[in-house]
Structure 1
């Protein structure tokens, strides 16, 4: 058993992002901290080769844990109100095994931090890991600021249950792209208890969106009633920063990003809303509209500078037209599946 470590979730589709994340962890967190990659699916040939080339990186191979979380997701989502609407097709996103990231609770690290693969690590984790002496979950996001209509949980439904009020719910809302926690939380017996509440007591109605790992994770952290800390609610202003590449302004100092206001160091940059295809094309030399793309390219090709594109070029009209046609075809296929 190892005291601390990092998890991420990946497959070959996000290979470029995984390499960039691993390089940023090595440079900005620690060259010695162990990292474990949870397989998103079985398409991990490139991921396996990359893991073999790194001394501190391993593949999560606990099939029992993976199957348990997959089964939990399938059974719970099957009773969600949206699952019963015939106009929604259960393919693509709606069969996404994103909840596998919670296999981290069954892994070998006593304390851990999880990063989504579409992230860059920006600073050491010592302070965050220290907080796990007093809290069971650490988050660093602004989900608690969202309106009732866009919140992860249906606050009105939960309030009507008489169990929680909005002032108790809102500070506990969070995303799932970055979090710290501990081994052993959400053991099989606790998952069984959640499943009973969600299915038999219809608490699945608390979860606003179907097949969203973050929304279900919010239900679990609220319902288990364990101590939770969100850095964006910290009384220490230095801990309250942004993290989203597509929304927040940052300052680059030696390829490390800081909050523009006050030059506060951030834990990670999250490339939310950009697709893995965008990053693959960027790495192949295409001029893709991604904020902080130079920072991404720096870390992606940190160990292979000779492979970094010398110049970014816009795709030609033929390529653009083909992509538009492919998007249309994909939507039609999704609609009839």
Structure 2
């Protein structure tokens, strides 16, 4: 049995990816990690992450493109704000028997792959409090009115940025079938805030995987993980949830632009520049397009020089 971590990224999010990978490798040098390219502009980040963190590129890029295009076509060209998010569905068909998917706007505070130990009793794992906000950003009231899911099932809604499951538990045919079903019932979903994959993936999991477990539902109260939660307390380079007196497993800047002044900026900056001399915040404001191009160019030159 093999375990591993998948991420999706392109050259545009190279800074976030470096912060995530440094946090993972700080706690775990061994777990294999695979990059699923978000789009065709991934050459620089793929080389950088392989060189520094041992991250491998998903080997079947033609499959990712075919999968993405078919899912795209089911809903139509301009339906989703970010259709490439569906490329993460390639996780089901990769090399790992048990896998964890992590968005790049996350840093972790432990050997995060250990959360997969719950697979002795479950087939799908997540860890967040998405359900606390009701069905917003996932489903519309119509799905409740039509009794598609029970109240207990809706408590298993999850954020699409952190979840884990098992290889081939969902078939390629089942993914296409589920997407077609969703496309026929657009009124079941809430795309108000430009969510793309989250509503559809939630529907697919709630429909097809019964043995689900959200670590937030454990009998004991567990720490939160969203960067909008302002009550976390910093101890060294980790965060403690004072409601539970426990360290967070991870912190997710979902829906938040990571930049100087954002929540828990010092935590993100620490991991991004771990082992480096961090630049002043004044140099880390969001770059203009031309500046970002120069940064990517510099990364490319550095990588060439290290061959």
TM-score range, shorter chain: 0.7 to 0.9
The DSSP-based 3-state class of the residue aligned with 2:3 is strand
| Cα distance change, pair 296–95 in 1 and its aligned pair in 2 (3 A) | closer
**Residue 9 (str. 1) matches residue 8 (str. 2):** yes
The match for 2:139 is 153
The DSSP-based 3-state class of the residue aligned with 1:313 is helix
TM-score normalized with structure 1 length = 0.76
C-alpha contact (below 8 Å) 2:101/2:161 kept by paired residues: yes
Offset, 1:260:
2.6
The match for 1:284 is none
Offset, 1:12:
1.0
For 1:129 and 1:52, locate their aligned partners in 2 and report how far apart those are by CA, in whole Å: 24
For 2:146 and 2:134, locate their aligned partners in 1 and report how far apart those are by CA, in whole Å: 20
Offset, 1:177:
0.8
Written as runs of structure 1 = structure 2, the 5 A alignment for 1:1-337 is 3-28=2-27, 30-54=28-52, 56-78=54-76, 90=78, 94-125=81-112, 127-148=114-135, 150-154=136-140, 156-165=141-150, 167-199=151-183, 202-209=184-191, 212-237=196-221, 240-275=222-257, 278-279=258-259, 288-303=260-275, 305-306=276-277, 308-309=278-279, 311-313=280-282
Offset, 1:246:
2.6
For 1:312 and 1:152, locate their aligned partners in 2 and report how far apart those are by CA, in whole Å: 35
Pick the structure with greater CA Rg.
Answer: 1
For 2:118 and 2:251, locate their aligned partners in 1 and report how far apart those are by CA, in whole Å: 21
The match for 1:86 is none
TM-score normalized with structure 2 length = 0.83
Structure 2: 5+ residue runs without aligned partners?
290-307
Offset, 1:56:
3.1
C-alpha contact (below 8 Å) 1:17/1:117 kept by paired residues: yes
C-alpha contact (below 8 Å) 1:18/1:118 kept by paired residues: yes
For 2:139 and 2:72, locate their aligned partners in 1 and report how far apart those are by CA, in whole Å: 19
The DSSP-based 3-state class of the residue aligned with 1:158 is helix
RMSD: 2.7
Offset, 1:193:
2.7
For 1:159 and 1:272, locate their aligned partners in 2 and report how far apart those are by CA, in whole Å: 26
Alpha-carbon displacement from aligned partner over 1:19-53 (angstroms, at most 9, x marks no partner): 1111100112x111111111111111321221331
| Cα distance change, pair 299–143 in 1 and its aligned pair in 2 (3 A) | same
Structure 1: 5+ residue runs without aligned partners?
84-89, 280-287, 324-337
For 1:140 and 1:297, locate their aligned partners in 2 and report how far apart those are by CA, in whole Å: 24
Alpha-carbon displacement from aligned partner over 1:29-86 (angstroms, at most 9, x marks no partner): x1111111111111113212213313631111322431243134313333xxxx9xxx
Offset, 1:243:
0.8
For 2:66 and 2:169, locate their aligned partners in 1 and report how far apart those are by CA, in whole Å: 14
